[in-house]
Amino acid sequence: MTDTCPDCCRRRIPPCAERRRGGRIAHGYRCPGCGHEWVTARHLPAYSELHRRAPRQTRKAA
């Protein structure tokens, strides 16, 4: 799962590290543009639930 650099807004940066613990996953990123490093933590169950409910909440906001 790619992320956007919070420092220079470079997009689609692939994670260079991944850590799982229980239902959580944390991705470590390092921006190739400015060298900024950050970690994004996500909850796996919450994500799969969002995908399951997606059809009911389909909104195409422009």
Which positions touch Zn ion (CB under 5 A)? 5, 7-8, 10, 31, 33-34, 36
Q: Which is nearer to Zn ion, 14 or 45 (CB)?
A: 14
CB of 53 to Zn ion, least distance (A): 33
CB of 6 to Zn ion, least distance (A): 8
25-54 burial code (b ≥16 CB/10 A, e <16): bebebebeeeeeeeeeeeeeeeeeeeeeee
Q: Which is nearer to Zn ion, 32 or 45 (CB)?
A: 32
